[in-house]
Amino acid sequence: MTDGTIAGRRAVQPLAERDLDPAARRPTSMFFPLASILGGTGLIALHAARFGSWTADDAAITFAYARSLSDGYGPVLQPDAEPVEGFSNPAWLALLTIGRLIKLFDRGTIFGIPDYVLFPKAVGLLFCAGILVAFYAAACKVARRPTLVTSVSAVILAAIPSFVVWCFSGLENSLFALAAVWLAVVIFRAVLDNRLLSAKVALLSGVLVTLAALTRPDGLIYAAAYPLVVLIYLQRPMLSSGVRHVLLHVASFGLPCGAYLIWRYLTFGRLVPNTAVAKSQSLPTVGNFARIGELVLYVGVVSVLTFAVLVGVVLAGRSPLRTGLAALLVPLALAVSAFVILGKDWMGELRFATPIWPLATLTGTLMVFQVASNASARGRSLLSIGVVAAIMSSGFMFVNFSNEFRATPTYPVCVVADRLGRSFNGYANILGVHHGSLLLPDLGGSALTSRLHLVDMAGLAERRIAEFHRDNDKASLRDYVFEVVKPTFIHSFGPWNALTRIPQDPRMTRDYVAIYTYPESQYEGDWVRKDVVPGAERLKAAQNYAIAVMLPVTSARWASPLSHCGPTLRVGQTPTTWTAPRR
């Protein structure tokens, strides 16, 4: 039998019937596999329930675009805005848009739960179930007890806070992880079945790469998975066939991704999302590789060392898993590479690492079961000690990470909806501003509730400001704000003061008057342009409103960050129209 290992770089030959594990044959009943998948999905949902209705504010940016698309305004943040690609997840945006068109999203409540909370989380849970189905599909090829492998993998995955948090944040992470895992499993099964050089596998891999690339820009890195695996296993006599299938693979994702690129340029005038311009993603440096340490520290050194030892043991033995291990390790390595290349994310909890966790969980669990089935009694004892030590060290950290995030979750959409959307609507009502604008750094909840034209201080949905951030030209940014945009209202706080220095600009004092400033700093708070204030009495009323209404509402939101924002998020709402926070 031909050796299909990485070292041999030979083509995989069909496995003889005697080499197949019993579980590789078709199961007689799907009851237990289905129970393991549903049970694992339930565990993931149980962990997600700890975070209540929390939704990340950045997720609501895509919600706002979905609302505009479904209402016929096109890909804009607000009906009166110019087309700017302030999102970077078109596949997720398409799902949300469909959800709104069929009245399951951003319409009201379902079973008493706001659908802007329920729909994204339900879809995320569905995709988590799809990941567990992929686990089972892979385990059937190499494990004697694929149901047990799936169950154990599900328990591990459900315990990882980083995975659960971001799959239920309202963002695209669950779809992204689903695409990456199924890509790995499709290639893995093809290697074991000697179908790697087939049109079906090449095309299906390309479709999954397309899904990943249209879910997140860094998903394009998975385009290398199929060609790399082909290169690892290719024999010289199959060279021409390998080249043909790689080209077919490239065409299968290149055409749809190229079509989207053309549409992007024709619609937005850019070849990259505006978000990429604003974030100034640079080429990786040697220092980027230090980010691997973040992953190691998150899961624990013991777990990483155990994983590495298992890879060596599997490659040194003879088993079906050894034959196809590279097909799992290559996508995992690409997922780690994407995490390393991307800039550090301010939202915390390793948001960009989401695909790493299911890929590592599946690979690690398969290796544990494979090594245990082939090891001596002494080997099983050593394996048990290593696995228990890894579980204990990682488990304690995961509990702490989950508790910490539950206590202080990343910027909730409801805080932004009330603090910047509804509260500024209240200011505008008091001051008689009917068609004003608001310069602010947080877009999600405000885009769903504000009746003002929003100007994004961060540049995600603002083309010119994105360019100023890219060029690090803060002086021109301030000139643009005060001489061109002239926003009716300005809100600034914390890091944005240091980054833009807009509140410290002399034109702020010249043109604007404070409605409210925080006690800690005169440069943090809310301002209104002087020429729109109808008089001292109205200004005083707005200032009193800030203290009597806005501050208590904001405090209530921060005190209950896992609550929802009321039955609906609608343009024009004020803090007096909201529903009290609850879980």
Mean per-residue pLDDT, 402-427: 96
Residue showing tokens 């989380």: 121
pLDDT value of position 500: 93
pLDDT value of position 333: 97
pLDDT tens digits, one per residue of 42-59:
999 999 999 999 999 999
Neighbours of 510 (CB within 10 A): 9
pLDDT tens digits, one per residue of 301-341:
999 999 999 999 999 888 889 999 999 999 999 999 999 99
pLDDT value of position 18: 36
Q: Are 583 and 53 in contact (CB under 8 A)?
A: yes
For the record, the structure tokens of 196 come out as 């790697």
Window from 51-65, 116-130, 271-285 with minimum mean pLDDT: 271-285
State which H helix or E strand residue 113 sits in: strand 113-114
Of the candidates 513, 528, 508, 553, the residue with the CA atom closest to the CA atom of residue 432: 528
- Alpha-carbon gap, residue 512 to 510, rounded angstroms: 6
Q: Which residues, 6 or more positions from 297, have their beta carbon under 8 angstroms from its beta carbon? A: none
**pLDDT band, very low/low/confident/very high, at 7 (cuts 50, 70, 90):** very low
For the record, the structure tokens of 327 come out as 């097909």
Higher pLDDT, 449 or 318: 449
pLDDT value of position 542: 96
pLDDT tens digits, one per residue of 56-93:
999 999 999 999 999 999 999 999 899 999 999 999 99
Of the candidates 363, 390, 375, the residue with the CA atom closest to the CA atom of residue 142: 363
In degrees rounded to 5, what are phi and psi of residue 4? Answer: -100, 30
pLDDT at residue 249 tops 70: yes
DSSP 120-184: HHHHHHHHHHHHHHHHHHHHHHH-S-HHHHHHHHHHHHHH-HHHHHHHTSSSSHHHHHHHHHHHH
CA–CA distance from 443 to each of 275, 420, 454 (Å)? 13, 9, 8
The percentage of the chain sitting over the pLDDT mark of 90, rounded to a whole number, equals 82
**pLDDT band, very low/low/confident/very high, at 151 (cuts 50, 70, 90):** very high
Of the candidates 458, 491, 471, 212, the residue with the CA atom closest to the CA atom of residue 347: 458
pLDDT value of position 577: 58
- Alpha-carbon gap, residue 218 to 201, rounded angstroms: 22
pLDDT at residue 3 tops 60: no
pLDDT value of position 375: 82
- Alpha-carbon gap, residue 338 to 332, rounded angstroms: 10
pLDDT at residue 253 tops 70: yes
What is the average pLDDT score of the chain?
91
State which H helix or E strand residue 322 sits in: helix 320-341
**pLDDT band, very low/low/confident/very high, at 576 (cuts 50, 70, 90):** confident
**Chain centroid offset of residue 90 CA:** 12
**pLDDT band, very low/low/confident/very high, at 153 (cuts 50, 70, 90):** very high
CA–CA distance from 305 to each of 156, 297, 310, 366, 382 (Å)? 17, 12, 9, 16, 14
Q: Are 320 and 142 in contact (CB under 8 A)?
A: yes
pLDDT value of position 374: 85
Instruction: Classify the phi-psi angles of 566: left when phi > 0, otherwise alpha if psi is within -120 to 50, otherwise beta.
Output: left
**Chain centroid offset of residue 143 CA:** 31
Neighbours of 504 (CB within 10 A): 14
Higher pLDDT, 507 or 281: 507
Between the CA atoms of 36, 40, 42 and 46, what dihedral angle is there, to the nearest 10 degrees?
Answer: 150
Of the candidates 190, 179, 126, 215, the residue with the CA atom closest to the CA atom of residue 331: 179
Burial of 514 (0-12, 13-18, 19+ CB in 10 A): middle
For the record, the structure tokens of 186 come out as 């499709």
Helix and strand element counts for the chain (H, E): 25, 7
pLDDT value of position 379: 84
pLDDT value of position 283: 67
Residue showing tokens 């640079």: 282
Window from 217-221, 372-376, 482-486, 561-565 with minimum mean pLDDT: 372-376
Of the candidates 377, 391, 379, 442, the residue with the CA atom closest to the CA atom of residue 159: 391
- Alpha-carbon gap, residue 333 to 375, rounded angstroms: 27
pLDDT value of position 280: 76
Q: Are 408 and 547 in contact (CB under 8 A)?
A: no
Q: Which residues, 6 or more positions from 552, have their beta carbon under 8 angstroms from its beta carbon? A: none
- Alpha-carbon gap, residue 565 to 9, rounded angstroms: 56
DSSP collapsed to 3 states, 438-500: EEECCCHHHHHHCCCEEEECCCCCCHHHHHHHHHCCHHHHHHHHHHHHCCCEEEECHHHHHHH
DSSP 46-86: HHHHTTTT--BHHHHHHHHHHHHHHTTS-S-SSTTS-----
Q: Which residues, 6 or more positions from 392, have their beta carbon under 8 angstroms from its beta carbon? A: none
- Alpha-carbon gap, residue 81 to 77, rounded angstroms: 6
pLDDT value of position 282: 66
- Alpha-carbon gap, residue 56 to 416, rounded angstroms: 10
For 344, what's the count of Cα atoms within 13 Å in the CB-facing half-sphere? Answer: 12
pLDDT value of position 485: 96
Per DSSP, the three-state class of 516 is strand
- Alpha-carbon gap, residue 17 to 14, rounded angstroms: 9
Neighbours of 507 (CB within 10 A): 14
